[in-house]
Amino acid sequence: MRYLPVSTRRIWVNPLCHFSFTVISGALFVSARRYDSNMLANSREELVEVFDALDADLDRLDEVSFEVLSTPERLRSLERLECLARRLPAAQHTLINQLDTQASEEELGGTLCCALANRLRITKPEAGRRSAEAKP
């Protein structure tokens, strides 16, 4: 494990592990480098677990206070949130395209746009925009 001093914070990085530990003003933060696996979720249970974990992590994020962060750290946090928000449409596009090609209007209870608007509680124009945006 190596120690890297950075202004008023300390960062411990273990090159053999994907976790790093940061102490900022006495608060400990644990972060992980992104791990990309070539394995896809192959079961409904795995998909449910992934969504549950994402939901739980967002709940945790809602509960934290950002008061301990400096201005540069707040900007970096906003940057990370923006990156995460931009990644979500990729999964949405996959699901929308699968519904478009595999689901019948009978299963959807109408057109794809109507189904999206009703299920996601968005307007029909917004549903149409998302459907068009998802097309490859």
Residue 2 located in a structural domain: yes
Please indicate, yes or no, if residue 75 is contained in any of the structural domains.
Answer: no
Give me 87's structure tokens. 């990644």
22 three-class SS: strand
| Site of tokens 């509960």 | 63
Is 61 within the bounds of a domain?
A: no
**What's the pLDDT at 35?**
47
Tell me whether residue 45 is in a domain: no
Short-list 26, 21, 28, CA closest to 3 = 21
* pLDDT tops 90 at residue 26: no
Taking a C-beta distance cutoff of 8 angstroms, is the pair 95, 47 a contact?
A: no
Residue 104 lies in a domain: yes
54 versus 16: the higher-pLDDT residue is 54
The pLDDT of 58-82, averaged and rounded, is: 96
Residue 20 lies in a domain: yes
Domain that holds residue 15: 1-32
Cα distance between residue 67 and residue 13, in whole Å? 24
Phi, psi at residue 111, to the nearest 5°?
Answer: -75, 165
Average pLDDT, integer, range 17-33:
54
Structural domain includes residue 41: no
Q: Check residue 1 and give its pLDDT.
A: 43
- If one counts the domains in the chain, the total is 2
User: What tokens appear for 123 in the block?
Assistant: 């307007």
* 26-29: long-range pairs with CB below 8 Å, 24+: 27/68
Q: What is the mean pLDDT of residues 94-122?
A: 97
Using the predicted structure, report yes or no on whether residue 29 has a pLDDT greater than 70.
no
Residue 70 lies in a domain: no
- Interval 77-103: pLDDT, tens: 999 999 999 999 999 999 999 999 999
CB 22 within 8 A of CB 33: no
